[in-house]
Structure 1
């Protein structure tokens, strides 16, 4: 069984191409061009002239493809017109069938690729790579920013992993969330202190959002606090280690003088708010910690516990790049802020403003902050 691989090329559009020529060029393979030329011209030399190639090149390529495919392609009889073998004819038949069946889908794919690559050639367009904690506002930001020429390449992961990606140069921005003004003894401080360094990193204000208990519709177990969850031994679904919500849960449990072992933890951990909500909606679990917008979107119960801050962070050296400046400007536009504020539990906060770590996350001193290698 031989595998099929797709390739595409980039180049200037030839406005003199006819519609038929454009369609014919949607899916090309160099071997098919050689076989078609030989079949039409009746000789290797004539096929080479038709393709504006040397006889040696065409002959060599045909021999190479015969070795590659394990079948003869041309009937090589001296003094007679070159003809395709039965296998060569079948390859040409497969080519015609492919073009006839897939032409509409290929045209859609080609047009989509052209639109996507147009961004690379547009001097007014910008692309930003963002690794971020799972969030309901960021996909909407990506959608609305694209209409303004700002394209966000968002990769969702845990907050800790997002900041690590930033420090390793895999993204320009990282998104993470914390309680407002977390103390220097909090789990939040322990999770992020060694990853972020005042003077090296800068925070760009984004939003606040509400986290709390996501329950089954109507909150049938009447869960209003983590103490209620422990008391009733409701099945509690956890987020994955390294997520900002897992760090937040540790802080909320400590504040309530509880521990993770006090919860009736479901054995499977969920990677996102959406997956956590689905586990509750399906009846596998009773409750979990998540954001309000996800609960409301699925008609689930929600009990607010804390309003937290969702931060965007970048290296100080990236603040003045055109892409980062475009994002900061977009975040401050009224149209975007109205979209964000319409999401349940979300509010704009210092959107687009540059802030120092020591002001927003004041557990650092410059003596304590560790240098990032």
Structure 2
């Protein structure tokens, strides 16, 4: 059915042979109804067909006689294929999406690059299917489950470990300020670069500040917000900040910075259990336990895969 099919701006630009800027202009003017999946705008096939008919001069009352044509473009979603929205920012999720596309019949994985808390909220509102999260509860020292249990009361869901990784502080090469841990954030001369609200890194920082009795307004640059680990590491590498919360992988990519590992975080996946989800959930579990997937993640530094695919909680 055409209402099950949607297009990105790039796909529409290829189909209509116009620039992406023109597509965005049509969306902005309201001529192409759209909706957002993460940072990506999508347009349903039925709305695209209505725009084309309108451009041809077909009156609205006659458009029902011209249904959307079957999809033949190689970049489009086939009939009967439903989108499977996977949220989160780690590269492991891109690899997961690639493997699911090969092995999960009837779905097309789509990536939504949003933080942990926004991911859980998007699932709660029915806008995502597989969400990743790494949220520390400072009182218990436990990752993710305290937040998930509170949000999904009465829901049937499963929490599965994707990987574990070290989180900590990113500092300049040579650690010139001799930073050793979270307590050092109380120093007034340090310049910090922060992450956006709802991200796992932001929650980790805020929890550590609370546990160490440090007020956010004591940190110079607390309101200086970036939206990914690489940007944080790059800002420290450039000398524009002295410290940031990050992960080891980002430091290895950026260079000219050092990483102080302070906590091992659990990076987990959450899925809602419904009858029509069972097929792709089985495919998801098969991928997580597959040798090909594990080997691909093993090649990336900083991942602990000892619990990958382990069900941590299930209702």
The TM-score range, normalised by the shorter chain, is 0.5 to 0.7
How far, CA to CA, are the matches of 2:151 and 2:100 in structure 1?
28
**Richer in helix (by share):** 1
How far, CA to CA, are the matches of 2:145 and 2:99 in structure 1?
33
- Is the 2:143–2:266 Cα contact (8 Å) retained in structure 1? no
Equivalent of residue 263 in structure 2, options 283, 306, 317: 306
Q: How does 1:16-165 map to 2 (within 5 A)?
A: 114-117=73-76, 120=78, 127-132=83-88, 134-148=89-103, 151-165=108-122
- Is the 1:240–1:271 Cα contact (8 Å) retained in structure 2? yes
Aligned partner of 1:206 in structure 2 is 162
Secondary structure at 1:289 match in 2: strand
Q: 1:188 to 1:225 in 2, by over 3 A?
A: same
Equivalent of residue 151 in structure 2, options 189, 195, 198: 195
Aligned partner of 1:268 in structure 2 is 224
**Richer in strand (by share):** 2
How far, CA to CA, are the matches of 2:125 and 2:288 in structure 1?
26
Q: Deviations over 1:124-178 (max 9, x none)?
A: x88521122x223222333454455675311011211111111111111111113
> For structure 1, which segment, 241-250 or 217-226, has the greater mean C-alpha deviation from structure 2 after superposition?
217-226
Aligned partner of 1:170 in structure 2 is 127
Secondary structure at 1:175 match in 2: strand
Secondary structure at 1:206 match in 2: strand
Equivalent of residue 251 in structure 1, options 164, 185, 207: 207
- Is the 2:133–2:269 Cα contact (8 Å) retained in structure 1? yes
The number of equivalent residue pairs is 250
Q: Which has the larger radius of gyration?
A: 1
**In the TM superposition, what is the alpha-carbon distance from 1:247 to its structure 2 partner?**
1.1
* Runs of 5+ unmatched residues, structure 2: 1-11, 19-55, 58-71
How far, CA to CA, are the matches of 2:201 and 2:143 in structure 1?
11
Equivalent of residue 331 in structure 1, options 288, 293, 298: 288
Secondary structure at 1:352 match in 2: coil
How far, CA to CA, are the matches of 2:14 and 2:296 in structure 1?
39
How far, CA to CA, are the matches of 2:306 and 2:277 in structure 1?
21
- Is the 2:85–2:111 Cα contact (8 Å) retained in structure 1? yes
Q: 1:218 to 1:336 in 2, by over 3 A?
A: farther
> For structure 1, which segment, 301-310 or 278-287, has the greater mean C-alpha deviation from structure 2 after superposition?
278-287
TM-score relative to the length of structure 1:
0.58
Aligned partner of 1:352 in structure 2 is 309
* Runs of 5+ unmatched residues, structure 1: 10-25, 28-63, 66-112, 359-373
Q: Deviations over 1:49-89 (max 9, x none)?
A: xxxxxxxxxxxxxxx98xxxxxxxxxxxxxxxxxxxxxxxx
Q: 1:294 to 1:322 in 2, by over 3 A?
A: same
> For structure 1, which segment, 338-347 or 208-217, has the greater mean C-alpha deviation from structure 2 after superposition?
338-347
Aligned partner of 2:25 in structure 1 is none
Backbone CA RMSD of aligned residues: 3.4
Aligned partner of 2:30 in structure 1 is none
Secondary structure at 1:356 match in 2: strand
How far, CA to CA, are the matches of 1:177 and 1:343 in structure 2?
18
Secondary structure at 1:115 match in 2: coil
- Is the 2:164–2:266 Cα contact (8 Å) retained in structure 1? yes
Q: 1:130 to 1:344 in 2, by over 3 A?
A: same
TM-score relative to the length of structure 2:
0.67
Aligned partner of 1:230 in structure 2 is 186
